[in-house]
Amino acid sequence: MVKDYTLRMMHAFFDSIVELITRTSTELPPDVRQAMKDAAGREVPGTSAAQAMSIIALNIDQALADEGPICQDTGMPTFDVRVPVGANQIWMRERVHEAIAEATRRGKLRPNSVDSITGKNSGNNLGPGTPVIHFEQWERNEIEVRLILKGGGCENTNAQYALPVELAHLGRADRSLEGVRKCILHAVWQAQGKGCSPGAVGVCIGGDRTAGYQHAKEQLFRTLDDVNPDHRLAELESQVMATVNTLGVGPMGFGGQVSLIGCKVGALNRLPASFFVSVAYDCWAFRRLGVVLDPGEGTIVRWLYRDPGKPVMPMSDGAATGFARTGREKRLTSPIDEATIRSLQVGEVVLISGRMFTGRDAVHAHLMKHDSPVDLRGAVLYHCGPVVLKDGDAWRVTAAGPTTSMREEPYQADIIKRFGVRAVIGKGGMGAKTLTALQEAGAVYLNAIGGAAQFYARCIRSVAGVSLIEFGTPEAMWHLDVEDFPAIVTMDAHGNSLHRDVEAASAEQLAGMRG
């Protein structure tokens, strides 16, 4: 009976999961759209924060219109699946794996599954632990599948605290709801722009270390406008949201009015010796959707979080470019000379044209030990792992936002000085070692808007070539010809850093929340 049941639903189940993956990657759910639209309305016009929100809004609409990934980092696919008693979970897991591979082939997911020992990319998002699938039986005669795509940048800003603990700027956090509140505020402050703020946090109080993180991530399946059924946790969520946006971290860590669009808290019992607070930080590209499937055929009966019968609320006004030019932008053509770079100041907007090269973790590690496969003198190095598809013999970039730059801090200064790089583009800023190298060598750090993968893909006119493709498509060094690629100078060749300044100013605000 079970065998017949699975055979009859085979084709529809696979297609339904592919559709779920595609929609989750390309369509932001209505509650997140509304929260981001509200957040954009709170930023002061003319500021870097407002500019960032304008680009984000256009990017969200572009992704929907073109059915392209909202962000090039499509993250770790995590499924929560509820099935009737007797359903064949082994068969379903196999079909989910096939659907992941197909969505990757279509360019809806970036190949993100990497062997932890060899560093080799599987190329299809499959491998030990990828994707993550949690099954649960229930007594309903329907299948519910929920999916969240949480990227590496925001995953790296997750935090777990063992209470009691001393927190920078907040003092001691005790084993109480007040201590939990301090931990949440500290986690949001600590993320700065590295997690693509404004973000949302799922929080778990208690559990063990493993269960705590899992339950925290499960809180992100709640809608941003719901009310916690536990009045104590509802009050905590309200307290956090009432104060956290006075931190001044703001969109992309540029400073501004909105640092967080949601806080959802759950609780698990714990051991007497342990009191963990686990915080799962998600970026503004808060991608989670779900479907309810017919248990016999696997067809989609209804969607969760979205109603296909209702028109999608546009984020931009239709005529918006996402980037409002003022005429004060500085035009740069790569390769760039030192004098031009030293003339730039923090806060200025640049428009880059010419050749740029992508370089993420694998490229930076490679350049520390080997010669560069291309001439980097005067070059622009883009911290980006794009989504690329092959058209015949040519490559086409379909999503190309920046990755978190701080991972390259151990390498960046040496690479700038050794190879003559003039500009580094990424998100979230870099540290003191890189800042010193920018001064010494005459280089700048440029902040692009995290997650705006569709917006930046449209600035790429062609792929001129690729080096180190053996690292996998996200980690390869792509040679991109760009036109009017906008970014903000946030670290200049004079020792100035917007990231350092915002972190210091927001730390003062954090200290005022000690309670």
222-274 pLDDT, tens digit per residue, is 999 999 999 999 999 999 999 999 999 999 999 999 999 999 999 999 999 99
507 occurs within a structural domain: no
Residue 198 pLDDT? 97
Contact assessment for residue 437 and residue 418, using Cβ atoms and an 8 Å cutoff: no
Q: Are residues 174 and 190 in the same domain?
A: yes
Output phi, psi for 485, to 5 deg.
Answer: -80, 115
Residue 184 pLDDT? 98
Bridging pattern class, strands 349-358 and 477-491: antiparallel
Q: Are residues 156 and 266 in the same domain?
A: yes
Contact assessment for residue 265 and residue 233, using Cβ atoms and an 8 Å cutoff: yes
* pLDDT average, residue stretch 135-148: 97
Pick the last residue of a domain from 252, 282, 312.
282
> Is the bond preceding 335 in cis, omega lying within 30 degrees of 0?
yes
Q: Are residues 294 and 422 in the same domain?
A: no
* pLDDT average, residue stretch 280-291: 98
505 occurs within a structural domain: no
Residues near 287 by beta carbon (within 8 Å), at least 6 away in sequence: 24, 25, 28, 29, 70, 71, 74, 75, 148, 149, 150
C-alpha dist (Å) from residue 432 to 154, 254, 410: 22, 18, 11
Is residue 4 pLDDT above 50, yes or no?
no
Residue 326 pLDDT? 85
Ordered DSSP codes for 152-189? HHHHTT-EEEESSEEETTTEEE-SSHHHHHHHHHHHHH
* pLDDT average, residue stretch 21-35: 97
Residue 7 pLDDT? 47
Q: Are residues 389 and 448 in the same domain?
A: yes
* pLDDT average, residue stretch 490-506: 97
88 occurs within a structural domain: yes
Q: Are residues 270 and 396 in the same domain?
A: no
365: tokens are 């590690």
* pLDDT average, residue stretch 322-349: 94
Residue 496 pLDDT? 98
181-233 pLDDT, tens digit per residue, is 999 999 999 999 999 999 999 999 999 999 999 999 999 999 999 999 999 99
Q: Are residues 56 and 144 in the same domain?
A: yes
Pick the last residue of a domain from 262, 297, 324.
324
Q: Are residues 73 and 177 in the same domain?
A: no
44 occurs within a structural domain: yes
Residue 321 pLDDT? 60
- Half-sphere CA count of 274, side-chain side, radius 13 A: 17
511 occurs within a structural domain: no
> Which DSSP letter does residue 246 get?
G
Q: Are residues 257 and 350 in the same domain?
A: no
Of the candidates 200, 220, 204, 202, the one whose C-alpha atom is nearest the C-alpha of residue 212 is 204
pLDDT band at 316 (very low <50, low <70, confident <90, very high): confident
- The enclosing domain of 412 has a CATH number of 3.20.130.10
148-160 pLDDT, tens digit per residue, is 999 999 999 999 9
455 occurs within a structural domain: yes
Q: Cα(43)–Cα(41) distance, rounded to whole angstroms?
A: 6
Is residue 6 pLDDT above 70, yes or no?
no
The per-residue b/e assignment along 10-46, b for 16 or more CB within 10 angstroms, e otherwise, is eebbbbbbbbbbbbbbbbbbbbbbbbbbebbeebeee
Q: Are residues 193 and 220 in the same domain?
A: yes
Q: Are residues 278 and 171 in the same domain?
A: yes
219 occurs within a structural domain: yes
pLDDT band at 447 (very low <50, low <70, confident <90, very high): very high
Q: Are residues 337 and 474 in the same domain?
A: yes
Domain count, the chain: 3
Q: Are residues 348 and 460 in the same domain?
A: yes
Lowest-pLDDT range of 271-280, 310-319, 503-512: 310-319
Lowest-pLDDT range of 7-16, 196-205, 285-294, 425-434: 7-16
Q: Cα(207)–Cα(117) distance, rounded to whole angstroms?
A: 30
Pick the last residue of a domain from 295, 324, 353.
324
* pLDDT average, residue stretch 422-442: 98
Residue 3 pLDDT? 44
Residues near 488 by beta carbon (within 8 Å), at least 6 away in sequence: 48, 51, 254, 347, 348, 349, 350, 446, 447, 498
What's the longest Cα–Cα distance across the chain?
Answer: 76
Q: By residue range, what is the domain housing residue 231? A: 152-282
271 occurs within a structural domain: yes
In the block, tokens 């690329």 appear at 388
